[in-house]
Structure 1
Amino acid sequence: MRCDYYESDRCRSCTVIQTPYEVQLSAKDVRARAALGESGIAWEPPVASGESGFRNKAKMVAGGSVDAPKLGILTSGKEVQDLRECPLHEPAVAAALPVLAEFVTAARLVPYDVTTRRGELKYVLVTGSPEGELLVRFVLRSTESVPRIRKHLGWLTQTLPNLVVASVNLHPTHSALVEGQEELLLTEQELLPMRVGAVELALRPQGFFQTNTPMAATLYRLAAEWTAHLEYRTAWDLYSGVGGFAMHLARDGAMVTGIESSGEAVAAATASAERAGLSGVQFAAGDAGAFARHAQDVPDLVVVNPPRRGIGAELAACLESSGVGHVLYSSCHVDSLAQDVAAMPSLTPVRARVLDMFPHTGHFETLVLLER
C-alpha cells in the first residue's frame, strides 16, 4: 500500500508499509513461531487484514490554530502533523475528521501547545462502529470550552448524522497520557453499539475496544471454536474489556465471569449481556491478578487478554498452581506472551494462530490455547 504521508517523510508510524503485505504477514507468523516454538503446537495459517481502511479509531492530537486546526500526530519537534487523510481509517472515521476540524473552528477550541502549555483542546478521539456510527470525544484541559461545544453540538450532529455518542474528557495535567479521569457526556445516548459477528457489544466513552473490528470478530470466533469441545461449567475472562470473549464463550449451563479494571467497560459489558439475555455471564470491576489470587474456586477455563506487558509473573504463577485445565491467551505482544507461557510449564500450548490486528507495523495479535 502506498501512503503520501510516509513517502514524503511526514509520518513514519507504519514502519514496514513499503514491505509487500504478504511478506509482512509471513514475518509475523515466523516471529510468533520462533517465540513460542513449534513442537506440539498446531499452528494455523495467519489471518490477514485489509491493507487500508481497517482502523476503527483515530486518536488525533490537536494542533495548529483555531482558524487552521490540525488533527494528527505530534512530531519529534513538538509540532502537529495533520493526518486527516490517513488511509488506515475506516471510511466513516475518515469522513468525520474534516468535519471535526471545522467544528474546532466553529466552537473556537484553542489547540493545546505542548511547548508553551497553553490552549485547551488536546485530542480528538473518534471511534466507528461496523454500522458506521460514531463516538467522538474531545479531550480538554478544562471546562472553559464546554459551553461553546454544547452550543455548536447541534450543527455537528446535523453535519455528522451518524454521530451517536459525544463527550468531553477532562485532562488538566501536562503528561504523556491521552486522557484524564473525568468524562462529561454531551449526548443522551452513552453507548456505541459494536456488532461483532452474532454478538452486539457496546462501547462507552472510556471503554477499550480492539482497533481492527474484522480482526476482533475473527479473534472472538476462534475463541468460541477452539473451546467448543471443552466441557466447562465455569470460566473466567480476565482483562475482559467490553466483554467480547465472555459473551462469545457463553453457553447453557455455564457461568462466565469477566474481570476488568475499567468501570466504564464493565458497565458497557453488563448492558450488552443484559440486552442479549445472557444470564450466565457476569462482569465485575477489579484487578485480574487479585481476583484470581483470592478466588475460592478454580474455573474450568480461563481466558486472558492482557495489555502489552502480559499477565506477569504473579498471575502466571497463580494459574500454574491453580489446577485450571485450559487457558486461552490472546496477546498483542508475543515476547511477553512467551515469557508468561514459560512461567506456566504445566500448561502446554497446543494450538496457536497469528491475527494481523496492526498491518504495516511489527505488531500483531497471537491466540494460544494451553492445556494442562
Structure 2
Amino acid sequence: MNSFSSQRTETTAPSSLTLQLTSEELGKNGSCIAWTEVSGKTVRVILPGTLPGDTVEAVVELPKKGAHSAIGRVSRFVRKSPGRRSSPCPASALCGGCPLIELTNEAQLSYKKRFLEKLFSAIPGGAPQILDPIPMPHGIDSGYRNKAVLYFEESAGTRKLGMYEAGSHHVAPGTDSCRLCPNWMAEAANAVLHWSKDSGLSVWSESSQTGLLRGLILRSGSSGRLATLVTSSSIPDSASENLIPALQSAGVTDVTVSIKTRPGNFVLGERAQVLLGRGSITAEISGLEFEVRPETFLQVNTPQTPVLYDTAIRLASIDPEDTVLDLYSGIGTISLLLARKAGHVIGVEIVPESVEEAKKNAVRNGLSNTEFFCGPAEKILPDIYSRGIQPKTVFVDPSRKGLEASVPGIITAMGPETVIYIACGPEALARDAAKFHSLGYCLDTLQPVDLFPDTAHIECVARFRRAQ
C-alpha cells in the first residue's frame, strides 16, 4: 500500500491531492488500482493509463461521500513496471481493445491470477484451489481470432472502416486491420472500403439517422470465410454484383447482407440476404463440426476454444452411463463434446435458432444421445426435474451476468454430484459460488484459461462438488 503524507497543491482544488502511487492490481475492464492512506483512511485509487507495477505521480480527486473509489490523473511516470514491453500494435493507444498489451504475457497471467485470488478469497467456504492460468499455445500471439466486427464512419470527407476508439463511437485510425485477426480479414475490409467508395453508397449516420452502410462482420471457419455487410436497407443490384468479386479477392466464400432498420449501435439486422454461397460456414472443434451463421455465438479464440472445453470435461470425470445436463447450450458445442463420453446429454438454450442448429449439428456429427429444449433455464429446469431426470453432472456456461437467481436452487434440488461452471465473468461466478455454498455445494477447483490475451478478461472453469 502506498502510505505517506501529502500537501494540497496550489493548482488543484481542495478536494484533490498530488500523490506518488504504485499500481498494485488489476481492476475491472483493465483499469489498475492503487491504495493509499489519506487522513487516516484507506483510499482505493483507480489509475487509468497505468499497468500493474507502474509508479506514478498523479492528481487524485478524492472520493465524495458514499463513493468507493478515487480517480487519479497521471501527471508523470516515476518508474515503469518491470513487466512492461513495447506495444506490438501501432493502433493500441487509440483502439483500447487490448489495455494490457504493454505487459509481457507472463506478467499478464500473474496479475490475472492475483485478481482471481483476491476475488475468491472472501467467498463463503473458503477460497478454492486456483490453478495457474492455461496460456495461449507457444508461439501463437496473433491471427487467432475467428471473428472481427468493423464499423463504417464518414466525417470531414474521409471514410473509414474499422474498430471504435476506446469509450467512443468513432473509428480509430489504422484499425481496419488487427494483429489478433488473420490477414485475410484486413484484405477483406480494405476491399469493402474501396468498393463502398467506388459504388457511391452513403454511410449511416447515427445522429441524422440516414445513410446505408453500417458495418462489416467477418468470420472464419474450417470450411471457408464468411462476410456479412450490415446496412440500413437493401443495396442496389449493381453494387452487390461488384461486392462479390471484391470479397472473393480476399478468399471470402460466403457473403450475406444483414438489413438493420432500427436505430442504435449496429448489431445484426432483422432481415438477411445471401449473396454468395450458403451464407454459413463450418467450424471444427475437437473433431466435431458446427454450422456457423452470421448470428451464431462461438468462442472467438480458435486455438484456445478446444482447450477450454476439454478442460471443463476433464474436470467433470464423465462416465459412459452418465446423464449430463448442459445449460445455456447454444448451438450444442459443449453438449456434443459431452455426448461422446456420456450416455445421455440434455441441452437447454433460450435462442430458438440456436436450438435448431444444435439439433442439426447433432445429426451432422452422428450423435443420437442428445436432446435439446428451448426456453429460459429457470423455466425449463423445473419441467426436466418433474420428469424425474437426475443428472450426475450439470454444466452451465452463462453470459457475463451469470446465473438467474433461481437457477442454483433448481440445479442443486436435482442432486448432481458435480456442477461445472464456465464463466466469462469471474465476479458473477464469485456471487453464484456463494449461493451454491449455501445450498451445499463447495467450489473446490478454479482453472483459468487465457482466451483474451492483452485484455483484463479471463475465462474460468469452476468445479462445484456436492457436500458429503
Give your verdict on TM over 0.5. yes
* Equivalent residue for 1:352, pick from 423, 446, 449: 446
| Aligned twin of 1:203 | 292
2:149 equivalent in structure 1: 59
Aligned to 1:22: 106
Greater helix content: 1
- 1:94 partnered with 2:186: yes
1:349 is displaced (CA, Å) by 1.7
- Residues 1:176 and 2:265 are matched in the alignment: yes
Equivalent runs, 1:258-269 vs 2, <5 Å: 258-269=347-358
Q: Secondary structure at the match of 1:81?
A: coil
Q: Do the aligned residues in 2 keep the contact of 1:304 with 1:330 (CA within 8 Å)?
A: yes
User: In the superposition, relative to structure 1, how do residues 184 and 266 fare at CA in structure 2: closer, same or farther (>3 Å)?
Assistant: farther
* Corresponding residue to 1:310 among 389, 394, 402: 402
SS across alignment from 2:177: coil
For residues 52-105 of structure 1, what are the alpha-carbon distances to aligned partners after superposition, in whole Å with 9 as ceiling and x for unaligned?
22221111111137x964222344664322411221212333332222223323
Aligned counterparts of 1:264 and 1:227: Cα–Cα separation in 2: 28
- State the shift of 1:369 in Å: 1.5
Q: Deviations over 1:195-251 (max 9, x none)?
A: 112222221221101111111110111123222345653222111122211111113
- Alignment check: 8 A CA contact 1:203 1:265 kept: no
2:135 maps to 1:48: yes
What is the identity, as a one-letter code, of the residue corresponding to 2:444? Answer: V
Alpha carbons 1:63, 1:70 under 8 Å: kept: yes
Structure 1: 5+ residue runs without aligned partners? none
User: Which stretches in structure 2 are left out of the alignment for 5+ residues?
Assistant: 1-86
Q: Is the Cα contact below 8 Å between 2:177 and 2:185 reproduced in 1?
A: no
AA aligned to 1:351 is: T
Provide the C-alpha distance between the structure 2 equivalents of 1:125 and 1:78, rounded to a whole number of angstroms: 17
Q: Does 1:10 align with 2:94?
A: yes
Instruction: Say if 1:92 and 1:128, in contact at 8 Å, map to a contact too.
Output: no
8 A Cα contact 1:62 1:71, kept in partner: yes
Shift of 1:22: 1.0
Q: Verify: 1:277 aligned to 2:363, yes or no.
A: no
Residues 297-336 of structure 1 aligned to structure 2 (within 5 Å) = 297-336=389-428
- The CA RMSD over aligned residues, in Å, is 2.5
Secondary structure at the aligned position of 1:179 is classed as coil
Does residue 119 of structure 2 align to residue 35 of structure 1? yes
SS at match of 2:324: strand
How does the TM-score come out when normalised to structure 1? 0.89
Q: Counterparts of 1:268 and 1:92 in 2: how far apart (Å)?
A: 27
Higher relative contact order (CA 8 A, sep 6+): 1
Q: 1: CA distance between counterparts of 2:443 and 2:263? A: 43
Give me the TM-score of the superposition, normalised by structure 2: 0.72
**2:203 and 2:214 in contact (8 A); partners too:** yes
Instruction: Name the counterpart of 1:114.
Output: 206
- Residues 83-92 or 323-332, more deviating: 83-92
For 2:230 and 2:168, locate their aligned partners in 1 and report how far apart those are by CA, in whole Å: 22
Return the alpha-carbon distance in structure 2 between the equivalents of residues 149 and 359 of structure 1.
38
- Aligned pair count reads 367
1:139 pairs with one of 194, 208, 230? 230
Identity of aligned residues (%): 26
Q: Which residue of 2 aligns with 1:364?
A: 458
User: How far apart, CA to CA, are the structure 1 residues paired with 2:374 and 2:275?
Assistant: 25
2:42 aligns to what?
none
Larger Rg: 2
SS at match of 1:328: strand
Give the 3 Å change call, closer, same or farther, for CA 337–149 of structure 1 in structure 2. Answer: farther
CA contact (8 A) 2:244 2:275 kept: no
Question: Closer, same or farther in 2 for the Cα pair 1:273/1:80, shift >3 Å?
Answer: same
Q: Which residue of 2 aligns with 1:160?
A: 250
